[in-house]
Amino acid sequence: MAGPLSHIRVLDLSRIMAGPWAGQILADLGADVIKVERPGAGDDTRSWGPPFLKDRDGNETRDAGYFLAVNRGKRSITLDLDKLEGQAVVRALAAQSDIVLENFKVGTLAKFGLDYDSLKAVNDRLIYCSVTGFGQTGPKRDLAAYDFMIQAMGGLMSVTGEPDGKPGGGPEKVGVPIVDIMSGMYAAIAVLGALARRSQTGKGDYVDIAMLDVQVGFLANQAMNYLISGKPPRRTGNAHPNIQPQDVFACRDGHVVLVVGNDGQFGAFCEAIGRPAWIADERFARNGGRVRNIAVLRPLIAEIFATRDMAEWIALLEPAGVPCGPINTVPMALDDPQVKHRGMRVDIPHPVAGSVPQIASPMRFREAGLSFERAPPLLGQHTDEILRELGLDGPADTAIPAGA
């Protein structure tokens, strides 16, 4: 496979979302990612449907869309880690790998002799990354965690949703498993950082990624607002807490998102909508004033937007350099000419379905272009192939590598 990591092998012992997302990022970058799954069942997300992928005859397969979203580019081997034979194969794979990803509960893999210290003994250049809900230390280290739960605990839901007292008011989770995704991204960044360091020192490393740490880490401006003001951030719906006007406005036939990012853009906006007097109005001339007086400014803007259709406003504001856009559905977003031009949808040959649609990686390289040739694997699809590479002929639950 192509890509800047085509010389790297990853042993992916993870399942669900965060760890597999990291593994898919590395696979997209060209790494050979070997996904270890439970015999007969596989990754939990294979069954997290409907919807399920359909085969060439229109019958449902066993693979849900959830699984297909995070396992592109990998090879699947089924191993029973409760058995010595399965553990021996993992150690043999670790000896030939650069990176290990896992998201078992703290201490679980140590019982099987597959923790970092054990695998470091067979490969001291190994970069081993554990992704858990709360990390390897602390009072909650032994607890299980899921994305929804961490969005709540980490403060995200306290700043997401409409304010209390408004229609639909109350805390909301983000519409995608954002903590899982961000944890996977941080894991991928961390192992690549360790890989760069290894090129200088020759030594591997252990990486501890906690989902709660990640969630608190990407509170970003909301956390900093609190730290410097002492005031807890509150839910403001679609309105930005620090920059205005940034909100959703109703048009005659739908809604437009207006994203004025600075005073110059606000001036251009005022000219475009025929309200040049607002530019000199001391309440609105500077962003700080607009934030403080948004209760006055927003109704004025809303009244104006209600007079035209979405397309009319976008056609008026875009040429003026005012950031704005429609609220697209997922099908509309995928049909956007810019999204199509960038090739964000790809179709990959699949042994059962004929082909499987995928959302491509957003990474673009001039010198080491990415390719998407390997579909999310069938359960155990590559077991025999991988065992042969290890010099083994028997099934995974009976084959023990020499010296293991």
**188: helix, strand or coil:** helix
Helix (H) or strand (E) holding 266: helix 263-272
pLDDT of residue 400: 59
pTM: 0.92
pLDDT at 214 (0 to 100): 98
- Buried b / exposed e across 231-254, counting CB within 10 Å, b at 16+? eebebbeebbeebbbbbebebeee
Q: Which of 339, 171, 167, 268 is nearest to 259 (CA)?
A: 268
Active site residue 98: no
pLDDT at 401: 61
Reported as half-sphere exposure (CB side, CA atoms, 13 A), residue 33 has a value of: 31
SS3 assignment, position 12: strand
Do residues 287 and 279 lie in contact, with contact meaning Cβ atoms separated by under 8 Å?
no
Cα 86 from chain centroid? 30
In this prediction, residue 403 carries a pLDDT of 54
Residue 10 pairs in a beta bridge with: 33, 99
CA–CA separation, 224 and 234 (whole Å)? 13
H helices present in 129-171, as ranges:
147-153
* DSSP notation for 195-236: HHHHHHH---EEEEEEHHHHHHHTTHHHHHHHHHH-PPP---
The CA–CA distances, whole Å, from 188 to 28, 265, 308 equal: 11, 36, 45
C-alpha span between 156 and 386 (Å, rounded): 42
Closest of 78, 72, 100 to residue 8, by C-alpha:
100
Predicted confidence at residue 166, as pLDDT, reads 87
C-beta separation of 52 from 60 below 8 A: yes
Q: Which of 43, 147, 180, 247 is catalytic?
A: 180
Say whether 393 sits in a helix, a strand or coil: coil
> CA 370, CA 27: separation in Å to the nearest integer?
10
Q: What is the pLDDT of residue 142?
A: 96
pLDDT at 165: 86
Q: Which residues pair with 246 in a beta bridge?
A: 259
Low pLDDT (below 70) residues in the chain:
1, 394-404
For residue 354, the model assigns a pLDDT of 97
Phi, psi of 77 (to 5 degrees): -125, 135
